Amino acid sequence: MPVTGAKKPARTALRRQREKEQRHETILGAAETLFVKKGYHQTSLEEIAEAAEVSVGTVYFYFKNKEELLISLMQKVGAHLRVMLQEAFLKKQGTMEGIVEAGTVFFQDFCRSHPGHASIFFRESGGRSARVETERKRLYVKLISDLEKALVRVRSETGTTYLSAGSEELMAVCILGIYERVAEYYLLWHDRADDITEAGREAVAFTVAGIQGLMTGR
């Protein structure tokens, strides 16, 4: 059946939209590579444009400035991390084994397999502008909230209670803090990627013991 005149503009619009989205992702990918390799402050928009094989004007069409590029990367990486952890936790039906699975995925699949993502999330986003710090805080609050919900479900599945009404929040903050520091120390500060799996396994065991230590009525 021949394509009608009405369908041709629609298909053209869809193709242009796909091309626009692909260009957006290409620029983000180039920025991530350069931020990780050279650092945020040492990377210019001109270098990002060259790496993405687009003009500087095209970069400005998609992103107002370098700060907006970093924030977009943080949002993308943060969303990816949250989905990974939630899927890992639910894979084990929301039990304590789900906490272990999510921790393993964090160190093995996020930190070890995507070191660029870890670098953007934990290193390049730190100590920047007030706007970047606000976005960083927002992402951390979401991760802590996800962890709190997971801990509430573990409590429900095991038929236990925690030491106090604020235990879930405290444990969520501690778990995120421990995982972040382990990732920074082995992956970003000392370039010991080969050690991150074993270190992560022990960090997960440490946090599980802490959770169990705050459980009552077992």
Domain encompassing residue 20 = 1-63
Residues 6+ apart with CB under 8 A from 10: none
Check pLDDT > 60 for residue 1.
no
Dihedral sign for Cα atoms in the order 167, 77, 73, 192: positive
| Residue 199 · residue 107 · CB < 8 Å | yes
23 and 106 housed in the same domain: no
Instruction: For residue 77, give the amino acid letter.
Output: V
pLDDT digits (tens, 9 = 90+) for 65-112: 999 999 999 999 999 999 999 999 999 988 999 999 999 999 999 998
187 and 85 housed in the same domain: yes
74 and 57 housed in the same domain: no
24 and 114 housed in the same domain: no
* Structure confidence at residue 172 (pLDDT): 97
What CA–CA distances, in Å, run from 131 to 117, 122, 176? Answer: 20, 16, 22
54 and 74 housed in the same domain: no
Is the pTM above the cut of 0.85?
A: yes
How many domains is the chain partitioned into structurally? Answer: 2
* Structure confidence at residue 18 (pLDDT): 86
Q: Which residues pair with 216 in a beta bridge?
A: 161
158 and 144 housed in the same domain: yes
What average pLDDT does the structure give for the chain?
91
Check pLDDT > 80 for residue 218.
no
pLDDT digits (tens, 9 = 90+) for 167-215: 999 999 999 999 999 999 998 888 888 899 999 999 999 999 999 999 9
| Residue 56 · residue 45 · CB < 8 Å | yes
pLDDT digits (tens, 9 = 90+) for 112-167: 888 888 889 888 888 788 999 999 999 999 999 999 999 999 999 989 999 999 99
